[in-house]
Amino acid sequence: MNIMVRLLLLFSGVAVTVAGPQETISLRVLILDDLEPRPVAFVDFEAVSESGPTVTQRTNEAGEVVFRLVPGSYTIRNVRPVQFKGKDYVWSKRVTVATGRTDSLTWTDADATSTVSIGTRQATTETAIYQKFKNSVVTVLSDAGKGSGFLIDKKNGLILTNSHVLTGSLSLAVAFSKREQVSAVVVAEDPRLDLAVIAVAPEKVANREQLPLLPTGQPIGSEGERVVAIGSPLHQEQVLTMGIISKVEENVLFSDVSINPGNSGGPVLNVAGQVVGVATFADLGRGTPGLGGIVPIRLGEPLIQAARAKVASLEVVSKPLPVVSSVSIPSDMLEAIASNIKKDPPFIAAPRNFRTYMITPFDMAASEVRYQQELQRKIARRYRGKLPPDQAAAFGPSGFWTTYVSSSNDPLVVFQVLPWPKQTSGSVWNQLLFGGAAGPAKLELRDDFLKLELYRNGQLVEPIRRSRIRDTKLYLSYSIELDDTAMAGVYSYDPREFRPGSKLQARVWKNDGRSSTDYQIPDSQLKRIWGQFEAWAEMAGDK
């Protein structure tokens, strides 16, 4: 029976109507690599007919593609050469589509014409995997720091990550990009495996690809097999790294794929585009890149199933969260304003047993300049007051690249709530009774930071970044003895919240959180901070 079929031509985007009965041709394309079949995945193939339109389809992760064609004669070929190990492979075969017949074909590199690559730029399988899934790999932000995660269930908004990324966190956020950040919740966690499943509202991931997991029962991988990792290491986001599986053990894979701080929780995929594991740790050697440790995805299957069962009873709401301004502070502006700052920023002696600092990028740049100048003076003393040219070069201006490997140009005001040492009561009595014979004064840290809230004119201000870090202090000298550790807080805010005329109040909880301390931010602090950001605000069109 005649039917009408609309074919969308990928190369032109034009919808064409083709009349007539259609038959199916299934094609699988492989390259034999040391006798091991490698799927030719995510590659465009076209069926070209002399009497009708060209139909273009893309192979899936298994190297498979299905054409539905009107009976007739066709040439099926790949749109672009496939590069593999220094060669370009081109498949081009004449096939006949007959009425009432379904054909299934398998082509290997033996069926292709191959030539030595001469440097033409071609997209690789790894490129295709990255382009398909990069927007489904997210940055996970918690009080404990930053890690990666990836979408495993778009229907329920489930994201798999590492448990240690969330450890001890009172808040949780997912960043899809530098411009989009939303709140998230923990659904299930297994600290022993270092895996966790978190959730965002499903509508937040409706237009993103769910990453396919390696099917249950399939071998997790073999030594020498190519793999790719996607994650948010260091100051970067959605970075692709490639390598091989270096060693397979019962409950872990080792790979030479780079796993840096921030990569934890990101997916590791085979060249078929299937997740084989979760990037989790690094086995580092002194002066070497080390090996990455990967938790096999099969170990996480029970946790994923438990999360799917649990999330059905949860109402997950993903609140949009503030993000850092897209207008960075120009380096010349940073240096010019910092050059006029002669003192370290003042502190507030609150809450009790803490010091609270409000620090800007200009403060940090000025502090760095003063430190560098002091080093130069010390070196110059050894050379009759003049710094040698070879050593002066080390103190030259920062390169343009610092913008890409540092957050120092981000327009932020950073609260540092630092536990401050106090002398122990026993040490005080010893000093009073025995003076210098009592030995060094013994100091201790008495409280842990828990959380901070900032209110502007009575309205809660959401931080752009927040972290709760362990602050360890060690001073051992003739007069002071301190060896202690406590939790500190580092919260970052948009500088526009600090415009003069506003009333800013900080509320800090410590230890068990049973009570809080409120303190007003002095107007002098607001004027100091906003005075540094005025030029930036004018440039950003938001003065």
Same structural domain for residues 290 and 350? no
Predicted pLDDT of residue 18: 42
Predicted pLDDT of residue 288: 62
Same structural domain for residues 374 and 505? yes
Predicted pLDDT of residue 5: 30
Predicted pLDDT of residue 188: 96
The answer to the question of residue 515 being in a domain is yes
Which of the four pLDDT bands, split at 50, 70 and 90, describes residue 488?
Answer: very high
Same structural domain for residues 100 and 149? no
The answer to the question of residue 323 being in a domain is no
The answer to the question of residue 56 being in a domain is yes
Using an 8 Å Cβ cutoff, are 410 and 363 in contact? Answer: no
Q: What is the mean pLDDT of residues 118-136?
A: 80
Predicted pLDDT of residue 446: 94
Predicted pLDDT of residue 7: 27
Q: What is the mean pLDDT of residues 485-513?
A: 94
Same structural domain for residues 82 and 217? no
The answer to the question of residue 257 being in a domain is yes
Which of the four pLDDT bands, split at 50, 70 and 90, describes residue 543?
Answer: low
Predicted pLDDT of residue 369: 86
The answer to the question of residue 114 being in a domain is yes
Q: Is 132 helix (H, G, I), strand (E, B) or coil?
A: helix
Predicted pLDDT of residue 407: 75
Provide the 8-state DSSP code for 209: P
Closest CA relative to residue 410, chosen from 234, 235, 177, 231: 235
Beta-sheet strands, E only, within 50-144: 55-58, 64-69, 72-78, 82-84, 87-90, 92-97, 103-107, 113-116, 137-142
Query: For residue range 375-390, what is the model confidence (pLDDT) as tens digits?
Result: 888 998 899 888 888 8
Highest mean pLDDT among 140-144, 410-414, 539-543: 410-414
Provide the 8-state DSSP code for 496: G
Q: How far apart are CA 494 and CA 453, in angstroms?
A: 14
* The pLDDT of residue 277 is above 80: yes
Final residue of a structural domain among 122, 149, 183: 122
Residue 343, token pair as written in the block: 């003192």
What CATH number does the domain containing 85 carry? Answer: 2.60.40.1120
- As a three-state string, the secondary structure of 100-121 is CCCEEEEECHHHCEEEECCCCC
Same structural domain for residues 186 and 58? no
Structural domain count, the chain: 3
Final residue of a structural domain among 122, 146, 166: 122
Provide the 8-state DSSP code for 320: B
Predicted pLDDT of residue 436: 67
User: What distance, in Å, lies between the first and last C-alpha atoms of the chain?
Assistant: 70
Predicted pLDDT of residue 8: 28
| Range of weakest confidence among 38-47, 240-249, 400-409, 457-466 | 400-409
Provide the 8-state DSSP code for 395: G
The answer to the question of residue 161 being in a domain is yes
Which residues sit opposite 171 in a β-bridge?
Answer: none
Predicted pLDDT of residue 237: 80
Predicted pLDDT of residue 364: 94
Estimate the crossing angle of helix 523-539 against helix 331-338, to 10 degrees: 150
Residue linked to tokens 């800013």: 504
Q: What is the mean pLDDT of residues 137-150?
A: 92
Same structural domain for residues 288 and 184? yes
Q: How far apart are CA 74 and CA 57, in angstroms?
A: 14
Same structural domain for residues 75 and 111? yes
Query: For residue range 301-318, what is the model confidence (pLDDT) as tens digits?
Result: 999 999 999 998 898 999
Which of the four pLDDT bands, split at 50, 70 and 90, describes residue 341?
Answer: very high
Query: For residue range 56-113, what is the model confidence (pLDDT) as tens digits?
Result: 999 998 999 999 999 999 999 999 888 888 888 999 999 999 988 889 999 999 999 9
Query: For residue range 210-222, what is the model confidence (pLDDT) as tens digits?
Result: 999 999 988 898 9
pTM of the shown model: 0.75
Burial 11-26 (b: 16+ CB within 10 A, else e): eeeeeeebeeebbebe
Q: What is the mean pLDDT of residues 191-197?
A: 96
Q: How far apart are CA 70 and CA 432, in angstroms?
A: 101
Same structural domain for residues 42 and 173? no
Query: For residue range 17-42, what is the model confidence (pLDDT) as tens digits?
Result: 344 678 999 999 999 987 788 999 99
Same structural domain for residues 156 and 199? yes
The answer to the question of residue 295 being in a domain is yes
Using an 8 Å Cβ cutoff, are 253 and 245 in contact? Answer: yes
What is the residue range of 257's domain? 130-311
Final residue of a structural domain among 90, 122, 154: 122
| Range of weakest confidence among 55-59, 341-345, 430-434, 512-516 | 430-434
Which residue type does 510 have? K
Provide the 8-state DSSP code for 521: P
Summary mean pLDDT of the chain = 88
Which of the four pLDDT bands, split at 50, 70 and 90, describes residue 118?
Answer: low
The neighbour count for residue 221, using CB atoms within 10 Å, is 22
The answer to the question of residue 533 being in a domain is yes
What CATH number does the domain containing 238 carry? Answer: 2.40.10.120
Query: For residue range 389-423, what is the model confidence (pLDDT) as tens digits?
Result: 888 777 767 666 666 656 789 999 999 999 999 99
Which residue type does 294 have? I
- Give me the helices (H) in 34-75, please: none
Q: Is the dihedral of CA 17, 20, 26, 29 positive or negative?
A: negative
Phi, psi (degrees; rounded to nearest 5) at 388: -60, 145
Same structural domain for residues 272 and 206? yes
Bond into 351 cis (ω within 30): yes
